[in-house]
Amino acid sequence: MPSAKDNKRNDKGHNEPSGRRSEPSNGSASRELFARAENLRTAIEKHRYNYHVLDKSEISPEALDSLKRELAELERDYPELVSADSPMQRVAGEPLKQFEKVPHKVPQWSYNDAFNEQNMRDFDARVKRFIKDEFGEVGTARVPNPTYVSELKIDGLKIVLEYEKGMLIRAATRGDGKVGENVTFNVRTIESVPLKLTRPVSVIVEGEIWMSKKNFEALNREQEKKGLPLYANPRNVAAGSIRQLDPRVAAARKLDVFVYDLAMYEGSTQAESAENVGFPKRQIDELHFLRELGFKVNKHAQECESIDEVLKFWHIWKDKMKKEDYWIDGVVVKVNEHRYQEALGYTGKAPRFGIAYKFPAEQVTTVVEDIRLQVGRTGVITPVAHLRAVEVAGSVVSRATLHNEDEIARLDVRIGDTVILQKAGDVIPDIVKVLTELRPIKNGKPMPAYKFPSHVAECGGDGSIERIPGQAAYRCVFRGGAAEHRRKLYHFVSKKCFDIDGLGPRQIDAFLENNLISAYDDIFTLKKGDLLALPRFAEKSVENLIVAIEKARTVTLPRFIFSLSIDHVGEETAEDLAEHFEIFEKFEKASEDELVAIDGVGDVVARSIISWFKAADNRHLVQRLLKHVTVQKFKGFGVGAGGAGGAGRARKSNLNISGKTFVLTGTLGTLSRDDAKLRIKAAGGTVVGSVSSKTSYVVAGDEPGANKYDAAKELGVPILTEDEFLKMLG
């Protein structure tokens, strides 16, 4: 978009890039990072050339921005990766050969991008720091705080217009920033470009050529009628029209232009304007002056007294942008005072006095870290890509649906691939393209194609799956597995296990239906943006749920064991196991003999535990889960231990309780059920769920369960009131 006005470069603080190295230097970058940077450079150059020179797009501008951002971060963090041919060290591509080349009298710059509020506040701080170095303390009568001008960033084609004594003599594209293409005959066809100014002045101005959404849609309707390919976006049409050799094509496209910058006035650039009283002294005055000369200037530019006002302007237009008849992809922010602009100067490739604050991209690039198979409510299997978390359309996401096996084959998406992710509105993102040129190489070969397995553990039974006749989808052979898997997830997040506040069956159902989770560990990789796409998930409730998930990352050992849904391992057994082994690593490696020897663990339970850990899928599940959660070392039972199986004081024997077996029923007035259990266990007793002849006491609160109460009477088991129970505890 807007370029700098000064052709006298200010290179303060700019380091020249190093030459390319084929091997890592003594820096910290690994060989893999060198390979990634090189692949990114190649891909960016390819897509930049297509976009800026050939005016065709294989990927969207947002996706290209995402690739450039990744490379910029690599080069920032590892300076040894910077090379002389890096696309981050150049402004744009080469001009087309079929047009006359035109050297620019004023260099054409590109602004650096900002993607969040912190980027903008950092920009504001840098501006004030440079002004202070040049003029003194900022915010005084002599050196007032800088103000800003916020302008809509139009997504079109940059154009440089030159006038002599008020008459248009040349129109040129940006080209590589130093040399552009002479497209005067085509630009003269644009009605909003004045052929003669209102004053006989000599100026060079810069602007953006664009096509309205209405005209773009009409053009595509014509293309469709003729059976021709549809155009991707108005920006491509505008650029392609201006580069047509026949001016009649450009005239037929009904293009438009906004002018936003006075680069030169009567032979003076802005930096030389101190002796030229005709050159405006502020950016906002410059826009008014351009209107007076007869140029079409976007009416929505706003003078802002502070960076907070800039941010408010950006937020307003983030929501309003779609209402305009032209494409807007952000806000360009410039220091208002030209004397401050001159002091700020330029880096090697961009002005310091301005920045482009982009709107949230609806397309970005990211990496596929895994492909998981999600079992739905009816047993239908959906492949889901687990992604390197990335911000798209204003929120961070980590999931994308791959729909079915045919879609995976069509995209040829593989684990490790760099992909273009698209999110339109409040929907779960889709992968729209694989950047195969960035596919990782391992042992001299690219990553293998993804193949559907023949078994999925979450299906239940033996895990077999089958293709649904006439469809591209698979389903579980054993139909009861999906319901069982769902119940296990309900159990995992329940109060007696991970106790995740706000996450219950309804939320789990929504996650499963929308292919966000397939196993326990997936819960801890969810991002806010993944959940905002779901129906009836408001922003505040999503924020609360993410916080609750974060809090649940630390869990006691009994709760963790109980959460795994190992057959025959209930809450009481989980506590017995935790008390014996103290840490999970000892429990998962225990032998059958060691398990059988534990009081309360018999042959059946021991064999079930051994069998569970023998299954590779279960071992892998635990390995993945332990990457996200911390299981506390068990330190014994005690009152106030923080929940069932919590860490606390060691057991202290109570002769009234020790060795006795209790059943609790009804609602206790002064103790919760969990507290009562802890008090019994701390005193050496045992709590069981049903009444038998071996039961020592039944503790009955308000509204006791009829079955337990009647069974106690029938078997002659003593029934204690809460007061009697508390006296026994002492």
Burial 508-530 (b: 16+ CB within 10 A, else e): bebbbebbbbbbbbbbbbbbebb
Taking the mean position of all CA atoms in its chain, how far away is CA 570? 39
Q: Are 201 and 166 in contact (CB under 8 A)?
A: yes
Distance, CA of 338 to CA of 319 (rounded, Å): 31
Which of these is catalytic: 5, 153, 681, 708? Answer: 153
563 Rama class: left (phi>0) / alpha (psi -120 to 50) / beta: alpha
Q: Do residues 423 and 397 touch, judged by C-beta distance below 8 A?
A: yes
Any idea which residue has 């879609």 for tokens? 407
- Cα-atom radius of gyration of the chain, to the nearest Å? 34
The percent of the chain in helix, strand and coil, each rounded to the nearest 5, is: 40, 20, 40
Backbone φ and ψ of 187, nearest 5°: -65, -30
Q: Decide if 694 is catalytic.
A: no
User: CA-CA distance, 654 to 665, in Å (whole number)?
Assistant: 22
The residue among 355, 428, 369, 434 whose CA lies nearest residue 393 is: 428
Helix (H) / strand (E) element for 308: namely: helix 307-320
Closest C-alpha among 206, 180, 209 to residue 192: 209
The amino acid occupying position 695 is T
Sheet with 203-210, side-by-side order of all strands: 167-173, 157-164, 203-210, 256-265, 268-269
- CA 691/CA 323 separation, integer angstroms: 69
Q: How far is CA 8 from the centre of its chain?
A: 40
* Continuous segment of H or E residues that includes residue 206: strand 203-210
Distance (Å, rounded) from C-alpha 424 to C-alpha 687? 54
Other beta carbons within 10 Å of 142: 8
- Single-letter code of the amino acid located at 451: K
| Residue 340 tokens, joined | 């401050």
Could you tell me the end-to-end alpha-carbon distance of the chain, in angstroms, rounded to an integer? Answer: 79
> 442 has which bridge partners?
445
Nearest to 149 by CA among 300, 328, 339: 300
Q: Are 162 and 169 a contacting pair, CB within 8 Å? A: yes
Strands in 112-255 per DSSP E:
113-114, 148-154, 157-164, 167-173, 179-181, 203-210
Q: How far is CA 170 from CA 90, 176, 259, in A?
A: 25, 17, 15
Active site residues: 153
